[in-house]
Homo-oligomer: A and B are copies of this chain.
Amino acid sequence: MSASDDSLNKPSRRLFLGAAGGLAGAAGLAPAMAQLAPSHPQIAPAEAEPFYGAHQAGITTPMQESLYFAAFDLAATNRDELVTLLQDWTKAAARLTVGLAAAPGAQDEQAPGLDSGEAAGLSPSRLTLTFGFGPDLFDNRYGLAGRRPAALADLPRFAGEQLVDGQCGGAVCIQACANDPQVAFHAVRQLGRIAYGAATLKWVQNGYSTASKTPGTPRNLLGFKDGTMNPTAATAGPVVWAGDEGPAWMNGGSYMVARRIRIALEHWDRMKIAFQERTIGRQKISGAPLGGRAEFETPDFQAVDANGDYVIPDTAHVRLAAPANNDGAQILRRSYSYNNGANFVAERWPPWHQGIEYDSGLFFQAYQRDPRTGFVKLFDRMSKIDALNQFTTHVGSAIFACPPGVQPGEFIGQRLFEA
């Protein structure tokens, strides 16, 4: 089932299958065109993230500036078609992440493009492509109904969520992150073309982060630092990577929960700073826990004021999210802010929609080795009593099993299909 690495040098069949639209090309008029590949004679190592490895890139990889996330339904009618899709995606992803066009070979002027071309001349921009398998992939069409991991459990209904059709679920996902939004979208666009006939786009979300631009913890649209409690590169391993507690094909993989969280920015902006800080449980500028002085200080959840009330309130976001208050439960946050335009109607009920303007918020991705003891455990209580819920509404939701990384010649998720 392993594909030879040599296959990277063969043109992708799928890219030649698009209809030419019945519109006459002009043979002989257009000059011969070289391959529409970016030209990077010397790619600086910092501009390309490794694609191959024990784990997929884009999980513990330091966050890039831009996200383009896409979820797909599967149209493949049998296992072979699904495997072909994953093989083709893997080959293209290996090329795209080093800044090459999606498919190799010289462009035939009388055929659709091997690549749509808008990333030509751009740096790889630290592009990572992370693939995940949703519950719908474990389907009798593919003989996989019995191989769904227990950890890929359907998410329960959470208090207050107002999920929107067309922003949820999916059988397969691609998370493209790069330091350039054009590079991130370009990658998904090429992978989407390769998938024609085998997978259909279901929903997408883009976003941005300043994580790679600021030395410290980046701020989200609440104006607060986001991710202070995140595990570091050194400590994330046991939090995110599945081990031998589940199926062997997920060993070294991770489970992603994605939530599109709309924030009522206009409501938030009207709050007193002191109230915002009590909502989060941290100081706005420094990020220090209330009662503390420095961002990375351990919050003192027992400290009380002169009235005997907790300095960090019972309903403060940081208290409810802390591993110390959740039997050690922990996740890796990988969150991008988003702007989806203007939308003057709030999804939530009761409606705090006075003055709501922006369809903006946080595209929140949590990675963990088991969502049942990670995101679900943490968010069940938070969804009920977190003071921040007055300003946030979860409107999109999905869960995916992200298989381990691949070596050259392998394809994403290969072990799922073996014996």
Which A residues form the contact surface with B (CB < 8 A)? Answer: 18-21, 23-31, 33-34, 36, 68, 70, 107-113, 115-123, 166, 180-182, 185, 189, 192-193, 196, 201-206, 208-210, 213-214, 216, 219-224, 265-278, 283-285, 288, 290, 293, 305, 311, 337, 339-342, 344, 355, 357-358, 360
Contact = CB atoms under 8 A, between A and B. Distances in A.
Nearest to A354: B19
Contact of A117 (B27, B219, B288, B358): B219
Contact of A275 (B21, B108, B182, B201): B21
A291 to B, nearest CB: 8
Given A111-B272, A223-B113, A269-B193, A339 B284 contact: no
A276 B358 contact: no
B339 A278 contact: no
A108 to B, nearest CB: 8
B25 A272 contact: yes
Which 10 A-B pairs have CB atoms at the shortest separation, nearest pair first?
A: A117-B223, A18-B270, A25-B274, A25-B272, A109-B274, A181-B208, A201-B357, A118-B219, A30-B274, A25-B275
Contacts of A201: 342, 344, 357-358
Contacts of A274: 25-27, 29-30, 109-110
B223 A21 contact: no
List the number of copies, as a whole number: 2
Given A120-B285, A270-B20, A189 B265 contact: yes
B204 A112 contact: no
Contacts of A337: 118, 182
A222 B342 contact: no
A115 B269 CA distance: 8
A107 B273 contact: yes
A25 B278 contact: yes
Contacts of A116: 221, 223, 265, 268-269
Contact of A121 (B18, B214, B284, B341): B214
Contacts of A214: 121-122
B112 A271 contact: yes
Given A31-B283, A214-B121, A278-B25, A270 B110 contact: no
Contacts of A208: 180-182
